[in-house]
Amino acid sequence: MVAEMTGADSEPASEEALWGGFVTATTTKAYVTAWLGIMCRQIGDVTGAMVLLGNPDSGEYTPAALWPETGRDLLYLADVAEGALRDRQAMVAPVAGSDGETPGAIQIAYPVVVGGSLYGVAALDLTPRDPVHVQRNLRQLHWSIAWLEVLIRRQDDDGGTQNRDDVVTVLELVAASLDEERFQGACSALATELANRLDCSRVSLGFVHHGQSRLQAISHSASFGHELNLVRLLGEAMDEAIDQESVIRYPGDPGERVATRAHAELAAEQPGGGELVTIPIPVDGGYAMALTLERPPGHSFSDEEVEVCETAGAIVGPVLMLKKDDERWLVVKAGHALRNQFERMFGPGHLVRKSALLGLVLVALFFMFARGDYRISADALIEGAVQRSIVAPFEGFIQSAEVRAGDLVDDGQLLSVLEDQDLKLERLRLSTQRNQLLREQREAAANKERAQVKVLSAQMEQTAAQIALLDEQLARTRLRAPFRGVVVSGDLSQSLGAPVKQGDLLFEIAPLDEYRLILQVDERDIIDTAADQSGELILNSMPEQTLTFRVVRITPVSTPAEGRNYFRLEAALDETPDSLRPGMEGVGKVLVGERHLAWIWTRRLVDWLRLKLWVWFP
């Protein structure tokens, strides 16, 4: 059955060429090949397809058509095709992606069953779609299979030539309606084409609307008045056939027990009466449309002609219904969809859907009444409780750097040394000057020059003060840590010999045993925060450890960042691990209290809607 499923190398035919080959096909292969190409183009997103046909008595099926005809091996569709043949029902087989998790293709297959006998199967490979599209594809494949049923029925009949003509007639009727993009145009084209091919004086097409037939198209008429008596009689005749779910001929067989009052009234409107036939057309398990054909008196409809109309209606009917549904207003479509869902939820059947709805209701009720902890998340930063700055005491040059940012230092540890050569030379000069003044003072005292002694004493005191200042500056050339901590910033190892000015920041040191936590809270959440609230913190560098804290202070000043405003919250950690360092970042959550889970998860959306409504409304 699947020994050879590889198409020949050829360019894909255009849709016009496919329709031409479909209408003029004289062999089964040409017919099925054109049909498969048209169907794949109408469904869309088909990556591969095949049709297997065979003798239902022997159970052997061989490929009758492949699509696309590009030399591609379609053996992978054998499993879904065999499943549809085995179970005699439609099959849907999802195929996992290459990684086994992402969805892959969707394979569908539909058996060709005619008169209870299994003649073959059509299998398609589709790109991933949602369940609604898959169901729609199955429905369209089901309708399209009717074309193959027509072919098989005509082949089984003895009148081969006449049957082929009937098939061509049906296909041309279908093509005439499908060529029109709009719903009204398709209905008018079908009615007019039927009237021309069957020599009818008038063909009318109607659809059921709110339980009554509503005339949609009349052959050779672009428009008609809905208030005309003829329109009313045509609608009543269609209702008569739909209500009885059978084809009505007038005049009919006297022994036939079918109500024909509406048809009699319609025939009476024609001069001399007439021959009528009304065919109800089933769509989705019910009769949604009907065809009424009229001929002059003495020109009755044959069984073959009625069968052609029934076949054409069965094929075109679902397509026309799709066109009609697609042209509805979006609001009408939404209302219809809601009504269908409501009927499925509260009508008979659909146990899985009802169970799912019940589960959703229970989940919604749970989240409406269940309570949980309401916590506010915020970006967090670890800072030292205090932070000491080491600055240049005077202008000078860097001689050496003993530490850099990130180093741990002890109290009094040497951090850096500034050049002191100029200071030492200046001190030596002042010391020499002081000694000179001392000798001069002694000479003045020996000569009893008191005024000179006082002047020299003042100059000596001035020199001593300058020496003391230089001693202080010499001592400050050696920068030391004020306490035990970590160097937060400062790296002078690449700046040896560089000049510094008085007050230049050289190092920043923070203690290792005292920290504070800074939280950046969104302005939308700041109203729920308060001092003494507790919370939890997880740092990026220690994700396995959870730290607790307590809010100490809320800074009433906002800071813009990333298009939002944030408020600064200061908090104190309950414990300080040895691995903690200033500058570490993470995420903190402030515990506000218990709230309903539904409120916690929808509060942002509700607040946004309130704000937008307030802005929109005057």
| Tens digits of residue pLDDT in 453-477 | 888 888 888 888 888 887 887 777 7
Contacts of 425 (CB under 8 A, 6+ apart): none
CATH number at residue 198: 3.30.450.40
Domain final residue pick, 473, 508, 543 = 508
For residue 249, tell me if it sits in a domain. Answer: yes
Residues 21 and 98 in one domain: yes
CATH number at residue 405: 2.40.50.100
Point out which residues pair with 539 in neighbouring strands.
542, 586
Taking 70 as the pLDDT cut, the residues of the chain under it are: 1-15, 57, 70-72, 96-104, 128-132, 156-169, 177, 225-227, 254-255, 272, 285
For residue 2, tell me if it sits in a domain. Answer: no
Domain final residue pick, 113, 130, 156 = 156
> Helix or strand or coil: residue 385?
coil
Residues 202 and 315 in one domain: yes
CB-based burial label for 93 (10 Å; 0-12, 13-18, 19+): middle
For residue 9, tell me if it sits in a domain. Answer: no
Q: Residue for token digits 């109607």? A: 206
Which two structure tokens, joined as six digits, stand for 197? 């091919």
What is d(CA 37, CA 22) in angstroms, rounded to the nearest whole number? 9
pLDDT on residue 536: 93
Q: Smallest Cα–Cα separation from 153: which of 164, 141, 143, 139?
A: 164
Residues 555 and 492 in one domain: no
Q: Smallest Cα–Cα separation from 321: which of 290, 347, 297, 343?
A: 290
Q: Smallest Cα–Cα separation from 244: which of 268, 279, 192?
A: 279
pLDDT on residue 173: 72
For residue 491, tell me if it sits in a domain. Answer: yes
Distances (CA, A) of 383 to 483, 513, 555, 607: 16, 11, 16, 33
Phi, psi of 287 (to 5 degrees): -95, 110
Q: What are the strands, taking DSSP E only, across 199-327?
A: 202-209, 212-218, 248-250, 275-283, 286-295
Diameter over CA atoms, the chain: 170
CATH number at residue 599: 2.40.30.170
Q: What 8-state DSSP symbol labels residue 87?
A: H
Residues 424 and 522 in one domain: no
Task: Give the CA angle between residues 504, 507, 512 to the nearest 5°.
Answer: 150
What is d(CA 40, CA 43) in angstroms, rounded to the nearest whole number? 5
Residues 466 and 429 in one domain: yes
Handedness of CA 124, 129, 131, 136 (dihedral sign): negative
Residues 192 and 77 in one domain: no
Q: Which pTM was predicted?
A: 0.42
pLDDT on residue 4: 47
What is d(CA 290, CA 194) in angstroms, rounded to the nearest whole number? 13
> Dihedral, CA atoms, 579, 581, 586, 588, nearest 10 degrees?
90
For residue 371, tell me if it sits in a domain. Answer: no
Contacts of 309 (CB under 8 A, 6+ apart): 194, 198, 277, 279, 291, 293
Domain final residue pick, 156, 179, 199 = 156
pLDDT on residue 88: 86
Residues 29 and 143 in one domain: yes
Neighbours of 25 (CB within 10 A): 20
Contact yes or no for 248/240 (Cβ under 8 A): yes
Task: Give the CA angle between residues 520, 526, 527 to the nearest 5°.
Answer: 170
Residues 189 and 281 in one domain: yes
What is d(CA 125, CA 134) in angstroms, rounded to the nearest whole number? 11
Give 528-542 pLDDT, tens digit per residue: 899 999 999 999 988
Contacts of 554 (CB under 8 A, 6+ apart): 526, 529, 530, 531, 567, 568, 569, 570
Residues 288 and 362 in one domain: no
Residues 494 and 602 in one domain: no
The one-letter amino acid at 589:
K
For residue 3, tell me if it sits in a domain. Answer: no
Point out which residues pair with 479 in neighbouring strands.
416
Count of structural domains, the chain: 5
Contacts of 550 (CB under 8 A, 6+ apart): 532, 533, 534, 535, 571, 572, 574
Residues 95 and 210 in one domain: no
pLDDT on residue 587: 94
Which residue range(s) make up the domain with 19?
A: 15-156
For residue 342, tell me if it sits in a domain. Answer: yes
Q: What is the 3-state secondary structure (H, E, C) of 311-379?
A: HHHHHHHHHHHHHHHHCCCHHHHHHHHHHHHHHHHHCCCCHHHHHHHHHHHHHHHHHHHCEEEEEEEEE
Residues 581 and 609 in one domain: yes
Q: Residue for token digits 């899985």? A: 352
For residue 63, tell me if it sits in a domain. Answer: yes
pLDDT on residue 557: 81
> Helix or strand or coil: residue 93?
strand
pLDDT on residue 102: 46
